[in-house]
Structure 1
């Protein structure tokens, strides 16, 4: 009955088969004994009939029980297998799979069960990678700060170099603070606690403030930032200004991070049917195979984690915030020529 795709039909046909077997058995037994019944008295005839039907019922129950047992065992075998594997998955063995042979409801359940096991395995691997990446990104700055602190206590650092090492310690502390803040943002996003409060605000002024606030980073990286707009008047948008501020900061930091010294970054603000914001750099670019993965937590197109200071969470947070605003972000990149991130916001009146 593998070709029957409904477990209801399987059980129904099984029930009909059991009834047919039972009646055939009763009929055969009755036919075998009917020739001797007519020569017996009426009392003996009734007694014989009772005995016959008792015996027939007993045989029918046995036959029905055997059929029902083996058929039920075969039908429910996938369910018992899923129960066994579910207990193993509960113990952390996520590589278990249910062998799906049927195409009925139980077969569909088995496919869904295997999909769930694969997703749990992926989540478990992500958890392990998450712990490993966080440990690495926290250990590196802590090791640097600890080493510099010991050098200061041992007074092995020349006076003229102290300012340089204090600056390094400050940078490493800021890196840890950014990582912790990003982790808190990710935790709020996953818990559904990141709230979006949309209002009308001056998007042009917000972009100018972000660029001015980040000027020390541009100077340190020796990267110039150019603000370009196709509209002489300020553009007003309807969104959450605090979260959009965070999006623009993360995108500019990403652009500066992957720009070479003495390069420049363009922040382009256009007004069409919607307000369009683009962040363009002329750095190393992103491979096409990596573009779909850049939104993953801790993903870095640069496999080396030593010379890049990003946490690998900025773009993931950007994507989540823009998803909450129900807007997409577009990425255009070419190796050796740079990358452009573009997203849109609804326009609001002043």
Structure 2
């Protein structure tokens, strides 16, 4: 039975074996009962032999008819499996629009629903992959084109001396943009391989936030964004976490707020001490629809497709979520369309003895 590769043949043969065994048992039981009671039943040996032949003919007819019905029933039961097998082969070749028809509500029906769900998820993943390639290609080509153009201009001596410093600054910004993109891709690869780790230590969270905001000041100036640091505690707050990864979280969240903030607006960064250190980053941008909030953590996801022209390929928030998950803390999102978004997360306060 283990060498038979078709589940249809396995079920069909199983039914036939059960059917034949049942007839054999019935025949043996009938022989024993009739043979021991021939006198009482007024049946002579010749009549008993005739009954045996009739029983054999009836058994053959019964097995044949039941076997044909079993063949039809088995074929009907396994039809969804064959359909799923064919659909799976087409999906494997890249045809992600394949679906199976669900005609029952039993285990096979549930399997069919799961199969269709899998096919839909694969289709979404394929679309995300295409969007990812398009976005990465755009994000790589744009700064590379700019850098190539500026370098060519320098080599041709077509840039005035009083403008060279401005162009160097632009080239530096473009290389930083490329560096962030490559780092995000490397982080994503580490997350998928399970090599993305944290090394928690005690550090000054208040000072880290001030340093992040100071580093990003040129970006705020370019967009005329005012950043308000709101520290409710007079003293600095020390936490137990990975400072490099928390720095990455803060940069990603503030850049996300900066990206969707209108010109001449503000961003608020709040730090307060409760049972844990609470950090909030609020912008006054377009906000996020409630139905999109759960999806913003997905890789490459962009709630508003029109935002695809903006910097970024949809990895920042996914990396943020993964880092905070490793710290065993959650991140909350409060957003209202047209009024902005607030991201809030917590970190463990460091013990004074640590």
What's the TM-score bracket when you normalise by the shorter of the two chains? Answer: 0.7 to 0.9
SS of 1:232's equivalent? coil
Corresponding residue for residue 231 of structure 1: 233
For residues 228 and 286 of structure 1, what CA distance do their matches in structure 2 show? 24
Structure 1: segments with no counterpart, 5+ residues? 1-7, 28-37
For residues 64 and 312 of structure 1, what CA distance do their matches in structure 2 show? 60
For residues 189 and 295 of structure 1, what CA distance do their matches in structure 2 show? 14
SS of 2:282's equivalent? strand
User: Which string of whole-angstrom CA distances, capped at 9 and with x for unpartnered residues, describes residues 291-327 of structure 1?
Assistant: 4444343426472555x43443222221222233232
Post-superposition offset of 1:54: 3.7
Corresponding residue for residue 157 of structure 1: 159
CA contact (8 A) 2:139 2:312 kept: no
CA contact (8 A) 2:153 2:159 kept: yes
For residues 205 and 156 of structure 1, what CA distance do their matches in structure 2 show? 44
* Residues 1:197 and 1:260: Cα distance change in structure 2 (over 3 Å): same
**Alignment match of 1:74 (pick from 65, 73, 76):** 76
* Residues 1:168 and 1:76: Cα distance change in structure 2 (over 3 Å): same
Corresponding residue for residue 303 of structure 1: 306
Moved more, 266-275 or 189-198: 189-198
* Residues 1:166 and 1:39: Cα distance change in structure 2 (over 3 Å): closer
TM-score (norm 1): 0.79
For residues 181 and 73 of structure 1, what CA distance do their matches in structure 2 show? 54
Structure 2: segments with no counterpart, 5+ residues? 1-10, 31-41
* Residues 1:104 and 1:19: Cα distance change in structure 2 (over 3 Å): farther
* Residues 1:339 and 1:19: Cα distance change in structure 2 (over 3 Å): same
**Alignment match of 2:90 (pick from 88, 111, 117):** 88
Corresponding residue for residue 196 of structure 1: 198
SS of 2:306's equivalent? coil
* Residues 1:212 and 1:147: Cα distance change in structure 2 (over 3 Å): closer
* Residues 1:190 and 1:49: Cα distance change in structure 2 (over 3 Å): same
SS of 1:303's equivalent? helix
Moved more, 63-72 or 163-172: 163-172
Corresponding residue for residue 35 of structure 1: none
* Residues 1:156 and 1:289: Cα distance change in structure 2 (over 3 Å): farther
Aligned length: 324
Structure 1 runs (4+) greater than 6 angstroms displaced: none
The 5-angstrom pairing of residues 1-350 of structure 1 reads: 42=45, 48-286=50-288, 288=290, 290-298=292-300, 299=302, 301=304, 303=306, 305-306=308-309, 308-334=310-336, 337-350=339-352
For residues 316 and 191 of structure 1, what CA distance do their matches in structure 2 show? 15
CA contact (8 A) 1:294 1:301 kept: no
User: Which string of whole-angstrom CA distances, capped at 9 and with x for unpartnered residues, describes residues 104-148 of structure 1?
Assistant: 111111111111111111111111111111111111111222222
For residues 170 and 327 of structure 1, what CA distance do their matches in structure 2 show? 35
Query: Over aligned residues, Cα RMSD in angstroms?
Result: 3.4
For residues 282 and 48 of structure 1, what CA distance do their matches in structure 2 show? 97
Corresponding residue for residue 33 of structure 1: none
* Residues 1:39 and 1:243: Cα distance change in structure 2 (over 3 Å): closer
For residues 163 and 220 of structure 2, what CA distance do their matches in structure 1 show? 23
* Residues 1:208 and 1:106: Cα distance change in structure 2 (over 3 Å): same
Corresponding residue for residue 4 of structure 2: none
Corresponding residue for residue 5 of structure 1: none
CA contact (8 A) 1:300 1:312 kept: no
